């Protein structure tokens, strides 16, 4: 009888999106709330390994049922189709409508496809099937890209000199040496790295026969002369639901119409509540979050886990009548894989600016692999010990 009464008192939390942020939020909340996790897939995908999937790694996902076993979290294998903040309801494509006391919006991001396919809509890569457009691919269409690589050698152009583009070019050049790989970027490669870090990236790309072309502003994949193009330039938050429901998204109203490119991220306060709808918490790539030491958080797994954990902690605090704490986070390192045998560990200050010392070579590749494995370990640990958030690097 007492247990039933306690169950009734526990608030209903719906978590949208089962990536790093959503899984972390759901697992941390499970002992304190009735949690429903909405994500169409029964597998948790390690998105930071998608370039490995494109290169031929057979599996980068884990059974969601196993990860959630024993936690009491209900997984609804469906896509959220609409949000009704006034009714505190989420509609899904399986016909179920979920009512919530608090919502965690963690729908992540995807490569903005408009460069890969002129005329595509930002929602195009967020559909149920990862899309490829003729000879243009993105990280989300990694399985199709792998198939294309196996179909026969030719010229491959990776567009975008950020960390995803660098990892993609190195991985594909190493795993498919029969392809001629180029890396094209408008600025210089690895713009956020230290001089030593950039130098190491260049050395490895050179060793892998990747031709780097800097200062190349590419309008879209159609204008690239190659048999296959991998578009890695801009990430865009999965924001359709939020915009349709009237949530404030980035850029703020004062900058709308000024040409500042929208990231689609939802504007949040220091505790990660939507500024326009405070009963909605936002975590991971979907949140335009800031922290005093870090400044604006970039889209990263490194920020998705802590913001997922923080959103959950804030909801728990609120349910106890306390004011949620502001997010406390500082960056400390960037980890870059350069194929399976080399890498770059770039220490950074709390605000993500690079320090000059770096770790390179096989030791760096081993550290990067351990860091990637640790993300899944953190989630598994959070299922057993939800307060393990303190162990997440950069938190506090």
Binding residues for ligand FAD, rule: CB under 6 A, are 16-22, 38-41, 47-48, 50-51, 79-80, 106-109, 126, 139, 164, 167, 238, 284-285, 299-302, 304, 335
Token digits for 282? 């936002």
CB of 334 to ligand FAD, least distance (A): 8
**For 114, how many CA atoms within 13 A lie in the half-sphere containing its CB?**
9
With 0-12 / 13-18 / 19 or more C-beta atoms within 10 angstroms meaning exposed / middle / buried, residue 384 is: exposed
Beta carbons of 344 and 358 less than 8 angstroms apart: yes
CA-only gyration radius of the chain, Å: 21
Whole-number Å distance between alpha carbons of 123 and 143: 19
- CB of 139 or CB of 389, closer to ligand FAD: 139
Q: With both helix axes pointing from N to C terminus, report the angle between 361-384 and 301-319 in degrees, rounded to the nearest 10.
A: 20
Q: How far is the CB of 135 from ligand FAD (least distance, A)?
A: 19
Strands 74-76 and 34-38: parallel
Please, which residue, 238 or 274, has the CB nearer to ligand FAD? 238
Contact between 196 and 361 (Cβ < 8 Å): no
Give the bridge partners for 103, in sequence order.
14, 280
**CB 206 → ligand FAD: shortest distance, Å?**
22
Q: How far is the CB of 138 from ligand FAD (least distance, A)?
A: 8
Beta bridge partners of 62: 44
* Residue whose Cβ sits closest to ligand FAD: 19
In the bound state with ligand FAD, the residue whose beta carbon lies nearer, of 212 and 287, is 287
CB of 375 to ligand FAD, least distance (A): 8
How far out from the chain centre does Cα 107 lie? 9
- Percent helix / strand / coil, the chain, rounded to 5: 35, 25, 40
Of 285 and 318, the one with the shorter C-beta distance to ligand FAD is: 285
Report in angstroms how near the CB of residue 164 gets to ligand FAD at its nearest.
5
Q: Which is nearer to ligand FAD, 320 or 391 (by Cβ)?
A: 391
Q: Which is nearer to ligand FAD, 257 or 353 (CB)?
A: 353
* Smallest separation (angstroms) from ligand FAD to the CB of 308: 7
Query: Which CB sits closer to ligand FAD, 172 or 218?
Result: 172
Q: State residue 385 phi and psi, 5-degree precision.
A: -130, 85
């Amino acid at each position: 009888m007492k247990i039933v009464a306690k169950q009734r008192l526990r608030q209903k939390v719906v978590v949208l999106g089962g990536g790093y942020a959503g899984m972390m939020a759901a697992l941390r909340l499970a002992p304190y709330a009735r949690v429903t996790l909405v994500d169409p897939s029964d597998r948790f995908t390690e998105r930071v390994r998608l370039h490995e999937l494109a290169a031929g790694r057979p599996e980068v996902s884990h059974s969601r049922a196993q990860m959630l076993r024993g936690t009491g979290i209900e997984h609804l294998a469906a896509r959220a189709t609409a949000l009704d903040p006034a009714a505190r309801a989420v509609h899904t494509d399986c016909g179920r409508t979920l009512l919530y006391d608090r919502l965690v919006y963690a729908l992540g991001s995807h490569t903005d496809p408009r460069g890969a396919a002129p005329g595509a809509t930002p929602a195009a890569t967020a559909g149920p099937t990862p899309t490829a457009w003729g000879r243009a691919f993105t990280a989300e269409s990694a399985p199709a890209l792998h198939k294309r690589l196996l179909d026969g050698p030719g010229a491959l152009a990776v567009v975008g000199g950020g960390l995803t583009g660098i990892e993609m070019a190195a991985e594909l050049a190493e795993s498919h040496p029969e392809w001629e790989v180029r890396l094209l970027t408008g600025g210089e490669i690895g713009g956020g790295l230290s001089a030593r870090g950039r130098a190491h990236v260049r050395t490895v790309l050179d060793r892998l026969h990747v031709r780097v072309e800097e200062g190349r502003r590419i309008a879209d994949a159609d204008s690239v002369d190659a048999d296959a193009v991998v578009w890695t330039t801009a990430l865009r938050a999965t924001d359709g639901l939020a915009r349709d429901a009237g949530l404030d998204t980035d850029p703020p109203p004062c900058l709308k119409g000024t040409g500042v490119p929208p990231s689609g991220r939802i504007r949040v306060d220091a505790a990660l509540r939507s500024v326009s709808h405070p009963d909605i918490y936002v975590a991971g790539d979907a949140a335009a979050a800031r922290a005093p030491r870090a400044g604006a958080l970039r889209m990263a797994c490194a920020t998705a886990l802590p913001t997922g954990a923080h959103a959950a902690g804030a909801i728990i605090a609120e349910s106890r009548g306390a004011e949620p704490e502001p997010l406390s986070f500082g960056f400390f390192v960037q980890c870059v894989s350069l194929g399976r045998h080399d890498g770059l560990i770039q220490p950074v200050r709390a605000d993500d600016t690079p320090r000059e010392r770096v770790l390179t070579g096989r030791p760096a590749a081993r550290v990067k692999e351990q860091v990637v494995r640790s993300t899944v370990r953190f989630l598994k640990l959070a299922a057993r010990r939800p307060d393990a958030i303190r162990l997440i690097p950069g938190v506090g």
